[in-house]
């Protein structure tokens, strides 16, 4: 009987932990969709982008073995300049196809395919920290298709 009670307790705790992750996964997806997919790729509100990315965020770019980094503030400046230069630009809506979300404590990694018109344009690896109960995107590496 004691073993049955212990097994039941472990089962309940395991189910409780498993149920907590879908909530966190939803928060992460909502953040990425609002700050990254819509904010950056769908001509959305860049204040949402500023809010969803940590100020120390860096995107690492690899061009034939030559690495460079772009901060979130520089990335946003580039987007603002492009939008100002082409205010009537037609936007083809981007959507995220989430491959995996891995959460450990207050850290998460996300792999997603960013698609336009059903075609994958980027495979992104985003890294997040949960700070003061809010997820923030802190880093990105990617592959262009």
Nearest CA to 61 out of 78, 48, 49, 44 is that of 78
Element (H, E) at 25: helix 2-31
* Token pair for 36: 């990254």
Q: Where are the domains of the chain?
A: 23-144
In what side-by-side order are the strands of the sheet with 53-63? 66-71, 53-63, 134-144, 119-131, 107-116, 94-104
Query: Which of the four pLDDT bands, split at 50, 70 and 90, describes residue 2?
Result: low
- Please answer whether residues 56 and 69 qualify as being in contact, where contact means their C-beta atoms are separated by less than 8 angstroms: no
Residue 75, both tokens: 């990335």
Indicate the pTM of the whole model. Answer: 0.84
Torsions phi, psi for 35 (to 5 deg): -80, -40
Query: Which numeric CATH code is attached to 23-144?
Result: 3.10.450.50
Label residue 55 left, alpha or beta by phi (over 0 means left) and psi (-120 to 50 means alpha). Answer: alpha
Min mean pLDDT across 16-20, 30-34, 58-62, 130-134 is at: 16-20
pLDDT of residue 11: 35
**Mean pLDDT, residues 34-43 taken together:** 97
Q: pLDDT per residue over 4-17, tens digit each?
A: 443 444 434 344 44
């Amino acid at each position: 009987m004691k073993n049955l009670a212990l097994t039941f307790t472990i089962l309940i705790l395991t189910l409780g932990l498993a149920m907590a992750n879908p909530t966190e996964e939803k928060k992460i997806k909502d953040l990425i969709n609002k700050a990254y997919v819509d904010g950056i790729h769908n001509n959305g509100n860049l204040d949402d982008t500023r809010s969803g990315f940590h100020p120390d965020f860096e995107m690492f770019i690899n061009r034939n073995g030559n690495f460079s980094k772009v901060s979130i503030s520089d990335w946003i400046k580039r987007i603002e300049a492009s939008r100002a230069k082409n205010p009537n630009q037609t936007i083809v809506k981007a959507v995220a196809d989430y491959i995996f979300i891995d959460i450990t404590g207050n850290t998460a990694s996300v792999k997603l395919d960013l698609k336009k018109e059903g075609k994958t344009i980027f495979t992104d690896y985003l890294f997040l920290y949960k700070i003061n109960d809010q997820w923030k995107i802190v880093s990105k590496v990617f592959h262009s298709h």
